[in-house]
Structure 1
Amino acid sequence: MSSRYLLPVKPPSARLVAAAAVSDTVLILLFAAIGRDAHQRGDVVAGVLLTAWPFLAGAAAGWLATRAWRDPFSVRRSGLGVWLGSLVGGMLLRAATGQTVVLPFIIVALLSLGVLLLGYRLLLAAIRRRRTV
């Protein structure tokens, strides 16, 4: 076992945790906005919020389940849980509230939220790796 695993890990600052939470929120809102725009539905702001809230609630559940605040930019420790939480929680909440849940939408949400919520974490991980080399 390498010595780096024996050293205490410094928890991320509150600023970094907030940045990750805000990033996840903005990206889920972007997902909802793109979807709303593609389907040309009425009121933009209310429509985006109506579409986004189940996914935001699911992402919050993912944050809690993975304790994402411990390592908010980790793909494995938090990103996967936030992604799957937003997808599964979002779809369950949509179904429970009478919103549309059909297989094509599930596939689009799976891919889109994956690219958005995991993508920026993967990009940050690549940048960190390049800096330490």
Structure 2
Amino acid sequence: MIQGFKEFILKGNVIDLAVAVVIGGAFTAIVNAIVSAIITPLVSLFFNADSTGKIGIIVHGIYGQEVTFPIGELISAVISFFAVALVVYFAFVMPMNAYKARKAAKNPIAEEAAEATEGELLAEIRDLLKQQRSA
């Protein structure tokens, strides 16, 4: 049982996953800082984010109380999600893709030989058998 656990922990996938989680946590702080420092003030120019909790559908309950479905909070969450997605894409993904494309252009990888089809493999086997019989 201990040996199985040791093999599981020492697998490269588990270590890679642990590193990814730690780096992801640190990366989240960077993205949140960019969103709060740049995107949120831009959104605030056009939309008062503090009043979103008051926006919603008001329904009168059977006991006379008013119930508000806070649609404004949902809208704020959607805007926040898209803001984070935009920051991640334009600040990190797009530059990384451009870097990889430039790197690939500088060092083109030799095309691997196309794998032989089944018919070609059978023809090679046939030819080898003919050579063995004649030798």
Name whichever structure is richer in strand by fraction: 2
Q: Which has the larger radius of gyration?
A: 2
Larger helix proportion of the pair: 1
Query: What TM-score results when the alignment is normalised by the length of structure 1?
Result: 0.29
